[in-house]
Amino acid sequence: MRTYAGHSDARRSNELYRRNLEKGQTGLSIAFDLPTQTGYDPDHELARGEVGKVGVSIAHRGDMHTLLEGIPLDQMNTSMTINATAAWLLGLYVVTADEHGVADEGLQGTTQNDILKEYLSRGTYAFPPGPSMRLIADTIAYTVEHIPKWNPINICSYHLQEAGATPVQEIAYTMSNAIAVLDAVRERVDQALMGSVFGRISFFVNAGVRFVEEHAKLRAMAAIWDELGRERYAVQDDKHRRFRYGVQVNSLGLTEMQPENNVYRIALEALAVTLGRGTRARAIQLPAWNEALGLPRPWDQQWSLRLQQILAYETDLLEYPDVFEGSKVMEGLVTELADGARAEMARVAELGGAVEAVEYMKAALVESQRERWRRIEAREQIVVGMNKFTSTEPSPLTADADGGILVVDPEVEADQRAAVERWRAERDQAAVDEALEELARAARDDSQNIMPATIAAARAGATTGEWSHTLREVFGEYRAPTGVGEAAAVPSQDVAELRDEVERVSDGLGRRLKFLVGKPGLDGHSNGAEQIAVRARDAGMDVVYEGIRLSPSQIAASAAQEGVHVVGLSILSGSHRELVPAVLEALSAAGAGDVPVVLGGIIPEADAEALREAGVAAVYTPKDWDLNRMMRDIVALVAERHGIDVAAPA
């Protein structure tokens, strides 16, 4: 199988960056692994299988130093995809720049630093919403004064659409998020700076295949943003009120079936963000056509790039002023979306703002996603090649597809574990203890900015896990709402047969069929697990769903104590090779080794085969989009394991 060495550790990433810079690249884009994103050191139990996987592992200033060695930071524009621990990584960056002799005011770059979408969709949060919002406000207040060329936050609506948001919800929740951030900053900076703060805020949006409506969505966002600037924050300078956004087009709508069709979808989605000059994206990332199948090959990536180049250089798209100017249809759509969004924003405001309304918004998104999925299953919403026009000639494009996924040399994790232990042993422990105490003091005192103590702790040699642990002690642990409890039931006729079957098997079992849906590891992409949990409930099962970030021992303890009949695991981070065997082992140790386990996620067939051999009863991938069929399979599996007659397939 083709493997791809991820960024893994600081040294390897540094080599990659330097190669790219030699080729003429001018900026750095740093992706961090999940332990770094969620504030755990490489040797923490939850980091198992995740170290160096979706990005680089940065545990202390030594790692940051290695990562940036030989790179001219005064000339770099550095973008960091980091949220819950953004203040810490910014601190490490500042300390490293200082070691390189580059002063704060010379630094340029972006920290994503948007926590709300982590609760609602992406899952790499560390602290409760209130304190997290304070950390964001602190980094903004700090950078506006000390690192004026830094973009301290990039508010993401992208992940909301992936979580199921309708256009109205996407606009409303993103803008409510921005309000929460700005309101928090307003209390922490000089009022004269609010214009610059407003102007520093940028967005990261999504674009779906209904491209006319999606374009209207962007125009509505720009209008509301301008309105907020003028009315709520009295921002005078027009330039400060410009709606600045980057875009990645929709992944949610790409299909594993007939994947070549995705090329058309991506092209149409790209139109949504380029059609109107006034609301054109500043940066566009297009996914590869075969993203749903595995990691894109260099040729696949080239094909995506060519699409962008054709749009820019062959078409006349960029030659005209705003082509929708004066369009009645577009104006009507924009008004409709903006009005809907304002009403929804008012609802969020009534609940006390975006921070207080996390639970409400999460439940609303789960509900939208459930409805979207129901429409697809009922073929009210057509997805070509998936629920309609499904017959296909054999594809020459996918014949040699190898389903490659990102695999990191297991040595990386072992090395990083050993390295962080060495680091702790060799540093000045007293200085670290003192710095962390000071950090805790600053955290407890809401009137202080967290950045100076964070930078001091970075300099003293504290680790990512220690910084986060100190703040977790002060702010408390947090489990985001799952949103599933409030989701409306699917119409009874859609699941009537399924319910009968669940009842019949439950009677045979003596008690209601009980299903544990678990998300092991640090992967926070919970949309799939949530939809499975809701559908299983609607099918009449008792469903135990505890949300994301569970250790294998937590899943095993729950399965054993709850007396479940079947366990379903959802893993999208590519860590199934490590995590699934760990869960199977933990189940045996907990005395629940006979409970069948099914797995869902992006699992290459070779891995699926190996996992089935290791004892997994069934493996589901994105091509298994028919949830009712999956439920019937699971019920049949339980029936078979308990010697209950399996009903004839419907």
Partner 1 sequence: MSRQLPDGAELGGRLRQHDLSAAPAVLNVLESRAPEARERADTLLAALSPAALGHEAPGHVVGVTGPPGVGKSSLLSRLGAEWRARGRTVAMLAVDPTSKRSGGALLGDRARIDVDPTDPGVFIRSTAAGDRVGGLARATRAAAAALSVAFDIVVIETVGVGQSETDVADVADSVAVVVQPASGDVLQFLKAGIMEIPDVLVVTKSDLGRVAERAVVDLQASLRALGAPETPVVAVSSASPPSGIADLAGALEAHRSGLDLPGRRLKARRMHALADFAAEHGERGVRALGGRRAAERWLEEQDPALDVPALLRALERKAAR
Size of the site for partner 1 (CB under 8 A): 49
Per CB under 8 A, the list member of 106, 199, 404, 508 interacting with partner 1 is: 508
Smaller CB separation from partner 1, 316 or 477: 477
What is the separation of C-alpha 404 from the centre of its chain, rounded to a whole number of angstroms? 21
Contact between 492 and partner 1 (CB under 8 A)?
A: yes
- DSSP assignment of 470-482 equals HHHHHH-------
Stretch that binds partner 1, among 266-274, 337-345, 389-397, 467-475 (CB under 8 A): 467-475
Structure tokens at 562: 């709850």
Q: Minimal CA–CA distance to 626: which of 498, 482, 483? A: 498
Is residue 158 among the annotated active site residues? yes
Q: Kindly tell me which residue out of 299, 510, 613, 650 binds partner 1, with binding defined by CB under 8 A.
A: 510
Collapsing DSSP to helix, strand or coil, 202 comes out as strand
CA distance 288 to 46: 31
The two structure tokens encoding residue 135? 């950390």
Is residue 495 close enough to count as binding partner 1 by CB under 8 A? yes
Query: Catalytic residue at 523?
Result: yes
For residue 231, the one-letter residue type is: E
- Separation of alpha carbons 401 and 52, rounded Å: 25
Segment (H or E) for 270: helix 262-272
- Of 532 and 571, which CB lies nearer to partner 1 in the complex structure? 532
**What is the DSSP code (8-state) at residue 149?**
T
- Smallest separation (angstroms) from partner 1 to the CB of 502: 7
- What are the structure tokens assigned to 87, written together? 């203040």
From the list 117, 519, 565, 576, the catalytic residue is 519
Q: Give me the least distance between CB of 513 and partner 1, in Å please.
A: 9
511 binds partner 1 (CB under 8 A): yes
- By CB under 8 A, residue 77 contacts partner 1: no
Cα distances (angstroms) measured from residue 61 to each of 92, 97, 269, 427, 461: 6, 11, 40, 11, 6
- Using CB under 8 A as the binding rule, whether residue 628 contacts partner 1 is answered as no
Would you count residue 563 as binding partner 1 (CB under 8 A)?
yes
Binding mask 531-560 for partner 1 (x = CB under 8 A): --xx-xxxxxxxxxxxx---x-xx-xxx-x
Closest CB to partner 1 among 322 and 585? 585
Q: Across-strand partners of 202?
A: 154
User: What are the tokens at 202?
Assistant: 């940028």
Q: Which of 99, 183, 438, 562 binds partner 1 (CB under 8 A)?
A: 562
The reply on whether position 408 binds partner 1 by CB under 8 A is no
E strand or H helix at 207: strand 202-207
- Residues 561, 605, 614, 623: which binds partner 1 (CB under 8 A)? 561
| 93 close to 64: Cβ distance less than 8 angstroms | yes
d(CA 113, CA 83): 4
**Could you give the CA distance from residue 60 to residue 423 in angstroms, rounded to a whole number?**
8
Evaluated on CA atoms 257, 261, 263, 267, the torsion sign reads: negative
Number of CB atoms found within 10 A of residue 339's CB:
12
Say which of 17, 119, 125, 158 is annotated catalytic: 158
203 binds partner 1 per the rule CB under 8 A: no
CB 628 within 8 Å of CB 377: yes
CA–CA distance, 480 with 120 (Å, rounded to integer): 8
> How many angstroms separate the CA atoms of 580 and 4, rounded?
21
Shortest Å distance, C-beta 129 to partner 1: 12
Per the listing, tokens 């493997």 go with 3
Alpha-carbon separation of residue 533 from 358, 369, 545 (angstroms): 20, 13, 7
Catalytic residue list contains 173: no
Site string for partner 1, 577-616 (x = CB under 8 A): --------------x-------------------------
For residue 190, the tally of other CB atoms under 10 A from its CB is 10
For partner 1, the closer CB: 199 or 508 = 508
Is 226 among the catalytic positions?
no
Q: Give yes or no: 17 in active site.
A: no
Question: For partner 1, which residue of 509, 610, 636, 646 counts as binding (CB under 8 A)?
Answer: 509
Least Å distance, CB 198 to partner 1, is 32
Q: Which is nearer to partner 1, 204 or 475 (CB)?
A: 475
If residue 11 lies in a helix (H) or strand (E), which one and from where to where? helix 10-22
Q: Which is nearer to partner 1, 314 or 477 (CB)?
A: 477
For partner 1, which residue of 101, 298, 643, 649 counts as binding (CB under 8 A)? 643
47 binds partner 1 per the rule CB under 8 A: no
Q: Helix/strand/coil (H, E, C) string of 288-326?
A: CCCHHHCCCCHHHHHHHHHHHHHHHHHCCHHHCCCCCCC
Nearer to partner 1, 65 or 512 (CB): 512
- Count CA atoms closer than 13 A to 70's CA, side-chain side: 13
> What string of DSSP letters covers 51-74?
TTSSSB---SHHHHHHHHTT--TT
- Nearer to partner 1 by Cβ, of 2 and 444: the residue is 444
**Residue whose CB is less far from partner 1, 273 or 495:** 495
Nearer to partner 1, 566 or 619 (CB): 566
Q: Is 40 a catalytic residue?
A: no
Interaction of residue 351 with partner 1, rule CB under 8 A? no
Does residue number 642 form part of the binding site for partner 1 (CB under 8 A)? yes
Q: Is 473 in the site for partner 1 (CB under 8 A)?
A: yes
Q: To the nearest whole angstrom, how small is the minimum distance from the Cβ of residue 551 to partner 1?
A: 7
Q: Which of 523, 538, 542, 607 is catalytic?
A: 523
For residue 243, the minimal CB distance to partner 1 (Å) is 36
- In the complex, which residues of this chain contact partner 1 (CB under 8 A)? 473-477, 479, 482, 484-485, 489, 492, 495, 499, 502-503, 507-512, 533-534, 536-547, 551, 553-554, 556-558, 560-563, 591, 642-644
The residues that are catalytic are 4, 158-159, 519, 523, 525
